[in-house]
Every structure is written in C-alpha cells, then in structure tokens.
Amino acid sequence: MKTKFSGFTLVELMIVVAIVGTLILIAYPSYLDTVRKSNRVEGQTELMDIAQRLQKCFTANGKYNDADKCSAYKSVSTTPYKTPGSGFYEITISEATATTYKLTATAKLVPQTADTDCVKMTVDHKGETLPAVCW
C-alpha cells in the first residue's frame, strides 16, 4: 500500500520565498519614499506657521526682526527651533532685516536625512518656497 504525503516541497517553498523577496525589493523603497513625504509635511507646516506669525509681526510692528515684540522671530533667531511632533526638522531664520527674512527647515532625524532632494526647505518673506519638488 502506498502512503500519500501532503505538504510543501523544498522547491515550492523556495519559489514562494523568491516571490516574497521580489515583492519586498519593489515595495520597500516606495514605502520609505511615502514615509519621507508624509514626514516632510511637519517641516512645511511649521515653516508656513512661523512665516504667518512673522507676517503678523510685520503688520503690527512694521518689521520682521523685532525680538522684543515678535515672539516668532525670537523663537527662531536665538537657537535652532525644533519642529513640534517628531522633531524631524530644525528651523532657522537668515537674511532677517526689517523687511525681509528667509526661513530654512533642515532635516535632522532619520528618515528625513535620507530625503536627498528635500534635506533643506525654505520659505521667504515673499512666500517663495524652495526647492519646488518638496512643496
């Protein structure tokens, strides 16, 4: 009498492992890119929030760089300002005069430091955002 065995052969198992490995090789980089894009919003949001608060200071006081009357300017001009939430970015202000400023968000934590096109994002007093691919 013949005995019938059921189960997987080694060849079948190796085929499944190869298919799963191929799917992971294709899907994982795309997943990481999606995670970086969603985390990028943290830096963008904070840049736009600080820019809006600086605009309110300019409207009220006639200048952006007033450390006494403008808490937004003071918070980013003294030390790098970490974004709330996960703290993926530090925000600094440069080229700050009475009528101009440039805010820069620099990636400080992984996975954002691997976001090669968008390690630094900027917005200025005219509302111009760079690099364009990040926005």
Q: Which amino acid is at 43?
A: G
Q: How far apart are CA 22 and CA 10, in angstroms?
A: 18
pLDDT digits (tens, 9 = 90+) for 27-55: 999 999 999 999 999 999 999 999 999 99
pLDDT per position as a tens digit, 91-118:
999 999 999 999 999 999 999 999 989 9
- The pLDDT value given to residue 8: 82
Q: How far is CA 19 from the centre of its chain?
A: 33
Q: Are 120 and 104 in contact (CB under 8 A)?
A: yes
Instruction: Please give the structure tokens belonging to residue 83.
Output: 């974004």
pLDDT band at 1 (very low <50, low <70, confident <90, very high): low
Q: What is the pLDDT of residues 120-133, one digit of tens each?
A: 999 999 999 999 99
pLDDT at 80: 81
Structure confidence by residue, pLDDT tens digits, 50-99: 999 999 999 999 999 998 999 999 989 888 889 888 999 999 999 999 99
- The pTM of this model reads 0.81
* Residue whose C-alpha is closest to residue 77's, from 45, 58, 103: 103
